[in-house]
Amino acid sequence: MIDPTNSTAPARDPQEPTTHNSAMYANPAAIFASCGKPYVEFRRRHDTAVIDYLTHQCPSPTARILDLGCGPGTLALDLAERGMHITGVDASQEMLDEGRTWAEQRGVSEAVEWRRADATTVGQHDRLGTFDGAVIADAFHWLDRQQVLTALDKVVRPGGFVAVVGYRAPETQREWWHPLLVKLREKHLGAADLAGPSTPYIRPQVGHEAMVRASPFNRVSVLRADYQREYTLDELVGLQRTFAYSSAATLGERQEAFEADLRSTLSAVQPSGLFATTLQAAVIVGRRPESR
C-alpha cells in the first residue's frame, strides 16, 4: 500500500539490476536491505543515449513520469535534471531515504516525489494521478510483470508510454570478469540464486519485450546502444554490495572473506586494477495501439 506518510538480473549477473517491489516476494522491501548507500556510491548512471531516448518519448520537457522500482533515483534524478516531474515508487524505505538525500545534493528535490508502495498497486490509488509515461529501470525482473503492466494501463494517459530500461540488453555479452564473480559467490554463498538474505530468486521465464507485447502497450519500439564502462578494483568490489545476491545483508559475516577473496582474484587477473568492458543497453518502449 501507499505509505500515508509519503515516506527501490538475476543473481547470476554482477551488474544485473536494480530494484525492489513485487507481489512475488513476501517481503520485497528486504530484497535490497543494506544496498542504499552503496547503490548511490557505486552504481553507475545510465548512458546518455538512454536518457536522450527516454526524453524524446515525452510529450513535453516537463512531462509527468512514474518511475517504478526507483531505488535511490538512479534514473529518476537524471530525468528530473532534464526538467521532468517524477514520482518515484519503491518498496524499500531505505532506498527512498537515500533518494531524497541524493536529490537534495543534485538540486532536484522539488522535481521528485517519493512514494513507498508495491508497484502492482499503483492503479489502485487515485491520489497518484495520471502520467505521461512510466519507466522501470533494471527492476522489471523483480516484479509481477503482468500485474504491473495492467496497473500501468490505469495510470498512463492516452498516448503515453511504458519504458523498460536495462543496463545490458538480453543475450548480449556480459563483462569479461563475470564468470569469476559467479564462482566466488558460489564459493561463499552456494549455488542458489538469492533475492536478498535467504530468499530464492524467482527467475522470469519470458523475456521483457514479449511481456510488453502481450500487454495493452503492445506497439513496441526498442533502442539498443553500445557504451563503455571502466571500474577500478575498489569500485568493482563496492559494486557487489549493491546487488541483492552479494549485499552486506546477504553475505552477513561472510562479507569480509568474500571481498578479500574478490580483491585477490581480480588483482591476479588484472594487475593494473582497471576493469573495462563494452556493453549494450536496451530500452523497450511500449505504447497502446493508435486505434485505442
Summarised one tens digit per residue, pLDDT across range 18-68 is 344 445 898 999 999 999 999 999 999 999 999 999 999 999 999 999 999
The pTM is what? 0.89
pLDDT tens for each residue of 84-137: 999 999 999 999 999 999 999 999 999 999 999 988 888 776 678 899 999 999
Report if residue 255 sits inside a domain: no
Report if residue 267 sits inside a domain: no
pLDDT tens for each residue of 62-99: 999 999 999 999 999 999 999 999 999 999 999 999 99
Domain span at 143: 28-173+196-228+279-287
DSSP E strands in 117-239: the ranges are 131-137, 156-166, 219-232
Predicted pLDDT of residue 126: 61
Q: Could you count the other beta carbons within 10 Å of the beta carbon of residue 250?
A: 27
Does the pLDDT of residue 292 top 50, yes or no? no
The residues that bridge with 156 in the sheet, in sequence order, are: 131
Closest to 38 measured CA to CA, from 246, 274, 273 = 246
Burial grade of 105 (CB within 10 A; 0-12, 13-18, 19 or more): exposed
Closest to 197 measured CA to CA, from 153, 235, 253, 152 = 253
Taking the C-alpha atoms of residue 7 and residue 5, their distance in angstroms, rounded to an integer, is 5
Q: What is the number of structural domains in the chain?
A: 1
Report if residue 155 sits inside a domain: yes
> What cell was used for 201?
530468486
Predicted pLDDT of residue 44: 94
Report if residue 6 sits inside a domain: no
Report if residue 103 sits inside a domain: yes
Please give the DSSP secondary-structure letter assigned to residue 273.
Answer: -
Predicted pLDDT of residue 125: 61
> Which of 6-15, 182-191, 269-278 has the highest average model confidence (pLDDT)?
269-278
> What cell was used for 65?
513520469
Report if residue 207 sits inside a domain: yes
Burial grade of 23 (CB within 10 A; 0-12, 13-18, 19 or more): middle
| pLDDT band, very low/low/confident/very high, at 237 (cuts 50, 70, 90) | very high
90 backbone dihedrals φ, ψ, rounded to 5°:
-155, 155
Taking the C-alpha atoms of residue 133 and residue 62, their distance in angstroms, rounded to an integer, is 12
Does the pLDDT of residue 201 top 50, yes or no? yes
> What cell was used for 185?
559467490
Predicted pLDDT of residue 127: 74
Taking the C-alpha atoms of residue 67 and residue 20, their distance in angstroms, rounded to an integer, is 12
Does the pLDDT of residue 171 top 90, yes or no? no
The residues that bridge with 87 in the sheet, in sequence order, are: 66, 113
Distances 213 to 159, 207, 289 between C-alpha atoms, Å: 16, 10, 11
What is the mean predicted confidence (pLDDT) over 143-158? 95
> Is 108:114 a contact under the CB 8 Å cutoff?
no
Residue 102: CATH number of its domain: 3.40.50.150
Taking the C-alpha atoms of residue 280 and residue 165, their distance in angstroms, rounded to an integer, is 11
Cell 553475505, located at residue: 251
What residue type is 73 in one-letter code? Answer: G
Predicted pLDDT of residue 191: 80
Predicted pLDDT of residue 39: 97
Report if residue 190 sits inside a domain: no
Report if residue 188 sits inside a domain: no
